[in-house]
């Protein structure tokens, strides 16, 4: 009895996207085979279980060999061992560096160190993301951080250049790096309602407006990873808005005059104006201290969002108030720090509106 065997020889590396996803998700070969069987692939293709097992193992071997190249994506583009079309190369890179929101939310703002890595078992159990996938995602964050932390210029641009990620994913990684570098507290219970998208939105605004790269020539000044220390020091000048009783009273009068009849919570706003203003200004004046920088989001929730929620402010009233609160400062004759105020409030106003879930 003779067996017939069909052989096809080619030099293009075949990539099965579904198997790649299973590998990225941390499934073993046997688990991946089981999932593929349950998907109905045997019935669809007429393959045997043995062939499916061999096919899965072959793909896994390929992915393991590609992984060292994926750690430095430009190497994948320039190597000659694997013949992979450019579109496939981009897919491999993008999906390798993609991350689960549930996972990133647990590590956001934490130091990307061995200590955090030891917690991955607990994070895996909490999020349902496999431990192997958690390790890959954590190592990706750490790898990107190490490459770009000392680079000057655009943080997202540097990430995109060195890791060949899409614009959106590069910006998300920029947020992860920015949070890790500045160690913002994001894990407290009162912050759990905030999504990664909310926090990444705020990170992008801070990078654009509160880093040395936000002014003058970012190539000469500094990098987007750090907050601008001179700017943080200057923010102390805003304290006069609440320390000077006449300025505080005039600011309140201007805001109340402009918003009378426009807010459903006008009485609550008028009664609580000074407390809200002190909260926002005091946050600014304390950002020279490392602990206060770390607690920025906690303070925003405690000093502004929770009081407004308590009085049942609708989001539109919050928007009207913050717009008028920011703009009215330009009518205060005794105030001399308009540019500084705008640099602070443009970011703060947008962050608060994103964080305020009424």
Of 137, 200, 199, give the one whose Cα is nearest residue 174: 200
Give yes or no for residue 39 having a pLDDT over 80: yes
Strand, helix or coil for residue 83: strand
Give yes or no for residue 294 having a pLDDT over 90: yes
Q: Please provide residue 223's backbone torsions phi and psi, each rounded to the nearest 5 degrees.
A: -115, 170
- In percent, how much of the chain has pLDDT > 90? 84
What pLDDT, on the 0 to 100 scale, is given for residue 11?
64
CA distance 165 to 167: 6
CA distance 199 to 193: 11
What pLDDT, on the 0 to 100 scale, is given for residue 49?
87
- In percent, how much of the chain has pLDDT > 70? 94
- Cβ burial of 280 (10 Å; 0-12, 13-18, 19+) is buried
At 182, list the tokens: 């500045």
Buried b (16+ CB within 10 A) or exposed e, 319-348: ebbbebbbebbeebeebebeebbebbbebb
Strand, helix or coil for residue 141: helix
CA triple 117-118-121, angle to 5 deg: 100
pLDDT tens digit sequence for 129-175: 999 999 999 999 999 999 999 898 899 999 999 999 999 999 999 99
Banded model confidence at residue 8, pLDDT cuts 50, 70, 90: very low
At 184, list the tokens: 């913002």
pLDDT tens digit sequence for 309-330: 999 999 999 999 999 999 999 9
pLDDT tens digit sequence for 50-76: 999 999 999 999 999 999 999 999 999
Whole-model pTM?
0.91
What pLDDT, on the 0 to 100 scale, is given for residue 218?
47
């Amino acid at each position: 009895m003779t067996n017939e065997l069909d052989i096809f020889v080619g030099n293009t590396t075949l990539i099965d996207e579904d198997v790649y996803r299973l590998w990225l998700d941390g499934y073993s070969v046997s688990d991946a085979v089981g999932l593929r069987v349950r998907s109905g692939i045997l019935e669809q293709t007429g393959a045997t279980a043995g062939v499916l097992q061999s096919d899965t193992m072959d793909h896994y071997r390929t992915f393991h060999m590609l992984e060292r190249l994926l750690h430095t994506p430009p190497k994948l583009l320039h190597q000659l061992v694997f013949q992979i079309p450019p579109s496939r190369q981009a897919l491999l890179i993008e999906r390798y560096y993609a991350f689960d929101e549930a996972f990133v939310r647990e590590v956001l703002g934490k130091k990307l160190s061995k200590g955090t890595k030891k917690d991955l078992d607990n994070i895996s159990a909490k999020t349902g993301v496999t431990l192997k996938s958690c390790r890959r995602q954590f190592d990706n964050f750490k790898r990107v951080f190490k490459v770009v932390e000392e680079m000057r210029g655009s943080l997202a641009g540097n990430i995109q250049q060195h890791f060949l990620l899409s614009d959106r994913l590069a910006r998300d990684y920029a947020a992860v790096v920015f949070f890790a570098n500045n160690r913002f507290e994001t894990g407290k219970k009162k912050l759990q309602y905030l999504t990664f998208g909310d926090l990444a939105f705020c990170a992008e605004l801070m990078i654009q407006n509160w880093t040395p790269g936000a002014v003058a020539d970012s190539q000469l000044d500094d990098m987007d990873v750090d907050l601008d220390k001179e700017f943080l020091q200057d923010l102390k000048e805003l304290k006069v808005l609440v320390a000077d009783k006449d300025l505080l009273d005039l600011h309140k009068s201007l805001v109340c005059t402009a918003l009378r009849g426009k807010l459903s919570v006008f009485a609550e706003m008028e009664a609580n104006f000074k407390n809200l203003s002190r909260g926002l200004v005091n946050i600014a004046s304390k950002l020279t201290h490392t602990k206060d920088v770390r607690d920025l989001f906690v303070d925003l929730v405690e000093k502004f969002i929770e009081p407004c929620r308590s009085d049942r402010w609708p989001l539109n009233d919050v928007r009207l108030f913050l717009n008028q609160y920011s703009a009215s400062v330009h009518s205060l004759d005794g105030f001399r720090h308009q540019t500084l105020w705008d640099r602070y409030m443009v970011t703060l106003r947008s962050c608060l509106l994103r964080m305020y879930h009424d």
